[in-house]
Amino acid sequence: MKKIDWQNKLILAPLTKGGHVPFRRLCESFGADITISEMAYAFKLFHGDKREKALLRRTSEQGIFGVQLAAENLGVAIDACQMAIEEGADFIDLNCGCPIHDTVKRKMGAYLLQKPRHLTKLVEGMVKYSSVPITVKIRSGWDERRINALELSKDLENAGASAITLHGRTRSQRYSKEADWDLVAQVSQAVKIPIIGNGDILTFYEAEQKKEQGQCASLMIGRGALIKPWIFKEIKEKASLTPTANERLAIYFQLAQTMKDYYGQDEFGIKRALPLLAWHFSFLSKYRPLPKEKFKEQSLNYPLLQTRLDPHEDWKEGTLDAVLSTNNEKTHLAIAEKLLRASSLEAESFLDFL
């Protein structure tokens, strides 16, 4: 079986809608060590769904790439694993944390947290018939009354899982409340396989604090990367990076160009990329500079990712910063279209959106 070093890695979470190839490449360029596909339904792959198969494409030839599957039937899961391996997956991650109704009603994702025996058998079978490592992403439990991550992690280790990612919230909590990194530490101490901690990382100093608190092998970052894709570089350099509005716009332009390269330079490609890039601005617009000396103490009381942050005091009306921080969806769409149709970047022209 292929070996992967899971120690001290920065991992881009499997992001539904946002985890497409162009965004993964952008994060990889900023230092993400491991990237993972959007969650793919094993049963759709089994039935030959072309859109679902497109989710299996590698990020690049350089980095470590995993495919995340949602599955509940072993035979279907094994076939989907083989398809992912043929497309170049270095490992397969089984999703046992997705809280959305569409997944749960199909008895997949977080639903499996309620069925530990079935989940264990599923992982055992995937490990037995796979030539690449099988990892599992779980939550704390189904709800606050049924937190079973500790017992479940022991079972998954015995089933042959190579690593476990623990998002320290229950399914019922979704993305609200503070992630439980003390639970991450309990699980890390209880099993021998690597535990990857996930939840509430928006700055390099929070990453350091969470890794120490969770005593985990590595960190997985989701929403923090959607807000600032350069977070991986920030963590590796151990510094609060505060790119200017022009520098941020250049990064967004880079994403737009990568999307055109991937989806196509023609009108069809641009129209396909447009709503997706506009969606990204619902996260990118939330960026605020959060220097350690000013925000570390606040972050210890409550995660900055969960805090409603006011617009930066220096971002005056009529500036590019004001444009990029707007939460107006029509403006997001207009910015996205301008970026996709531009052959070069003229930052001043974006002031027209004020």
Q: Specify whether 216 is catalytic.
A: no
Query: Two tokens at 143?
Result: 């709800």
Helix (H) or strand (E) holding 137: strand 134-139
Which residues neighbour 26 within 8 Å (Cβ) at sequence distance 6 or greater? 229, 251, 254, 255, 258
Query: What distance in Å separates the CA atoms of residue 107 and residue 70, rounded to the nearest whole number?
Result: 9
Alpha carbons 138 and 95: distance in angstroms, whole number: 7
Catalytic residue among 27, 81, 96, 98: 98
Yes or no: say if 51 and 17 are a contact pair by the CB < 8 Å rule: no
The answer to whether 199 and 181 are in contact (CB under 8 A) is yes
The answer to whether 165 and 139 have CB atoms below 8 angstroms apart is no
Tokens of 125: 């079978």
Measured distance CA(181)–CA(200) in Å, rounded: 10
Q: How many CB atoms lie within 10 A of CB 193?
A: 18
Contact 150, 190 (CB under 8 A): yes
Which residue reads 């069809």 in tokens?
Answer: 268
Phi, psi of 250 (to 5 degrees): -65, -35
Sign of the dihedral through C-alpha 44, 50, 52, 55: positive
Contact 76, 44 (CB under 8 A): no
CB 226 within 8 A of CB 280: yes
Report the phi/psi class of residue 290: left, alpha or beta, with left for phi > 0 and alpha for psi in -120 to 50: beta
Catalytic annotation, residues: 98
